[in-house]
């Protein structure tokens, strides 16, 4: 979502900016479960109750997302 909401540095390229819907989670008092579930377009019930565990994908990448476990 962050990449899709970022502007393109070329002024000649026309881009439709993605509007991220939902409520911005509090950094001081994050919601239970995954801290990003309030804005995630792929939210599932488990996201609201359990924080996802970190999974190392390879030497350079990792992910903490319940959606990843469904693939």
Question: pLDDT of 9-59, one tens digit each?
Answer: 887 887 776 677 778 888 898 889 999 899 888 999 999 999 999 988 889
Res 23: pLDDT: 80
Residue 49 lies in a domain: yes
Residue 6 lies in a domain: no
* Strand ranges, E, within 1-71: 55-56, 62-63
Residue 11 lies in a domain: no
Q: Is the pTM of this model over 0.85?
A: no
Residue 46 lies in a domain: yes
The band of 70, judged by pLDDT with boundaries at 50, 70 and 90, is low
Residue 12 lies in a domain: no
Residue 17 lies in a domain: no
The parent domain of residue 43 ranges over 23-71
Residue 44 lies in a domain: yes
Number of structural domains (the chain) is 1
- Tokens matching residue 7: 């502007």
């Amino acid at each position: 979502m962050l990449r899709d909401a970022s502007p393109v540095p070329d002024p000649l390229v026309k881009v439709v900016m993605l509007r991220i819907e939902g409520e911005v989670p509090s950094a001081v008092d994050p919601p239970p479960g995954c801290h990003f579930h309030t804005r995630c377009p792929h939210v599932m019930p488990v996201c609201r109750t359990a924080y996802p565990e970190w999974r190392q994908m390879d030497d350079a990448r990792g992910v903490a997302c319940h959606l990843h476990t469904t693939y």
